[in-house]
Amino acid sequence: MGLFNFLKGGPKTEETPVEKKGDKPAETSSGNKVVVLGLDGFSSSLLSRLMGAGRMPRCAAIRKQGSLVPMANPFPEHTAVAWAELLTGVNAGKNGVFGHEDFTPGSYSTHRPEAAPFRSKTLWEILGEHGKRAVVVNAPVTWPVKEIAGVLISGAPGAKLKEAVHPKSLVPTLEKLGYPENAGAPSAGETPEALMQGVRKSFEKRRKAISHLWEHETWDLFVAAVSETETLHRAFWAASEDPSHPHHGFLMEWYELVDGLIGEMYDRTKSLGGSPAFMLISDHGFTGAKTRFFVNAWLREKGYLSFAGWPPASLEEIADGAAAFCLDSGRIYLNTRGKYPRGCVSPGEEYDRVRAEIAYGLLDLTVNGEHVIEKIYTKEDLFSGPFSEAAPDLVAVAESGFELDGAIDHEELTQMDAVTGVPSWDDAIFFINRLGIVSGKPRVRDIAPTVLDLLEIPANGMDGGSLVCVGAACKKPAPIGDEKAWGRPNIA
């Protein structure tokens, strides 16, 4: 269905002890090796700016030895959604992760999809079926951890370290290395200085763990994520653009630390021998914040949403007759009859009409003379698969600098807060140490089939395609959507 056609009517593995530091490193599995380093919330345009300014010299040198291009994100542009696609190669209609929280079927209550297994196979499960091993450090949406052929350390939101690691026998080693007690991103801290100190500490401790696991574990795929980048960009994005900002110096030093990790992992990859692959990716881009827009406040103002009392504690207090509600970020659900306990929008003609009214209204919306919404997708535009019924009915994509908030008890439409940076959907990073192989803009979902292709494993049933296509049966990526789905829609 087109963008606005509706207007027209792995096997268990036993825990094995980790070799102590100083022991001879374990032999790696035979065959190719693939390394994926992820930066949370890091823009391709920012990386180019920093390389040009000499702040990330290792990246500048590495860039000449491969292909570096911007990458398109799934919608909404959230870490959970992007990493779910990255690790499974399929859209949310198949992996079941639509955002940082999703509805429990048949109710208005929500749960974190991070706290439930993916509904489709992950890279490491597929590797395990083919006798290969993975080491995965700090990957989001992987808690609670499952047994895998290799090592898995969950990332945000995660849990206490002892609950976030497989195999459990690795916990004492990680504790000795000082791995962060909270497995995910560092807390915000009470002051900017406390945040900066926490970020530096967690980054350095995780870096030590990455080095140890590289040397002492057997693996075919090594995945590591740097979560601190998004934490800093939310708080200090303005400092990245303004040399006079009091935290500009710290941020530049931070980028140099990240550049050092990238160079270190690239060098380690080259030393493996053969033709190992190194990928540098980000789950979404980032940009300067203009304002936060509260979609549920707008829905209340326009008469689509009301609650039995004020302020509501949750969406379970939704009033009879309410037609729509929103979750972060820009995921709009119609209160459809038969789907929700107090559903009042009848499927068919009424559903199409209400959905079109909301889409029109949001696309016409301006704040201080600027459009808030760049484009809107229907669920049919974005999702396919057995779990598509749980998808949002509309996904609104904000114009650059606006962040769509799903708070239900906020009375004003907009609010500026301490956040100076917000996610962007079309400026993620993709780099691979192969020259001239990437044409056009890849998608996040192309990473999993690319990894499998490099490891000579079929990527059966994945929505993405291989960006290298070295295998005899590889599937190439599909070209990015129809034009009206990627530009501001013409719905006149």
Q: 67-94: per-residue pLDDT in tens?
A: 999 998 898 888 899 999 999 999 999 9
Helix (H, G, I), strand (E, B) or coil at 153: strand
Q: Is the pLDDT of residue 490 over 60?
A: no
Structure tokens at 54: 């000499």
Tell me what the pLDDT averaged over the chain comes to: 87
pLDDT tens digits for 8-41? 333 333 333 333 333 333 344 446 899 999 999 9
Closest CA to 400 of 233, 286, 297: 286
Query: Average pLDDT, stretch 110-115?
Result: 72
> DSSP letters along 425-471, please?
SS-EEEEESSSS---S--BGGGHHHHHHHHTT---TT-SS--SS--S
Read off the pLDDT band of 190 (50, 70, 90). low
Q: Is the pLDDT of residue 374 over 50?
A: yes
Contact 420, 234 (CB under 8 A): yes
Q: Which of 235-239, 261-265, 349-353, 415-419 has the lowest mean pLDDT?
A: 415-419
| 179 or 488, higher pLDDT | 179
Is 290-418 the same fold as 32-288+421-483? no
- pLDDT at residue 307, rounded to an integer: 97
- pLDDT at residue 436, rounded to an integer: 74
Per-residue DSSP letter, 26: P
Q: Is the pLDDT of residue 6 over 70?
A: no
Q: Which of 118-122, 166-170, 262-266, 412-416 has the lowest mean pLDDT?
A: 118-122
Q: Which long-range contacts (CB under 8 A, 24 or more apart) does 61-65 make?
A: 61/263, 62/262, 62/263, 62/266, 62/280, 62/431, 62/433, 63/431, 65/433, 65/435
| 371 or 436, higher pLDDT | 371
Query: Average pLDDT, stretch 395-399?
Result: 95
Read off the pLDDT band of 433 (50, 70, 90). very high
Query: Average pLDDT, stretch 134-140?
Result: 94
Structure tokens at 173: 């080693």
Q: Is the pLDDT of residue 3 over 90?
A: no
Which backbone phi and psi does 130 adopt, to 5 degrees? -110, 20
Helix (H, G, I), strand (E, B) or coil at 117: coil
Percent of the chain exceeding pLDDT 90 equals 70
Cis omega (within 30 of 0) on the bond before 192?
Answer: no
- pLDDT at residue 28, rounded to an integer: 42
Read off the pLDDT band of 440 (50, 70, 90). confident
Q: Is the pLDDT of residue 1 over 80?
A: no
First to last CA, the chain: 18
Query: Could you give the CA distance from residue 441 to residue 316 in angstroms, rounded to a whole number?
Result: 41
Geometric angle at alpha carbon 130, from 125 and 131, rounded to 5°: 95
Query: Average pLDDT, stretch 100-121?
Result: 81
Query: Could you give the CA distance from residue 92 to residue 223 in angstroms, rounded to a whole number?
Result: 21
Instruction: State which H helix or E strand residue 14 sits in.
Output: none
Q: How far is CA 470 from CA 446, 450, 455, in A?
A: 14, 9, 10
Geometric angle at alpha carbon 329, from 328 and 330, rounded to 5°: 110
Query: Could you give the CA distance from residue 301 to residue 216 in angstroms, rounded to a whole number?
Result: 59
Percent of the chain exceeding pLDDT 70 equals 86
- pLDDT at residue 116, rounded to an integer: 55
CATH class of 32-288+421-483: alpha beta
Q: Is the pLDDT of residue 195 over 60?
A: yes
| CATH architecture for residues 290-418 | 2-Layer Sandwich (3.30)
Query: Could you give the CA distance from residue 268 to residue 125 in angstroms, rounded to a whole number?
Result: 25
Per-residue DSSP letter, 325: E
Q: Is the pLDDT of residue 156 over 90?
A: no
Q: Where are the domains of the chain?
A: 32-288+421-483, 290-418
Cis omega (within 30 of 0) on the bond before 76?
Answer: yes
pLDDT tens digits for 222-274? 999 999 999 899 999 999 999 999 999 999 999 999 999 999 999 999 999 88
Read off the pLDDT band of 171 (50, 70, 90). very high
Closest CA to 219 of 137, 162, 156: 137
Q: Is the pLDDT of residue 176 over 90?
A: yes
Looking only at the bridges linking them, the beta strands covering 370-371 and 366-367 are antiparallel
Q: Is the pLDDT of residue 482 over 60?
A: no
| 16 or 211, higher pLDDT | 211
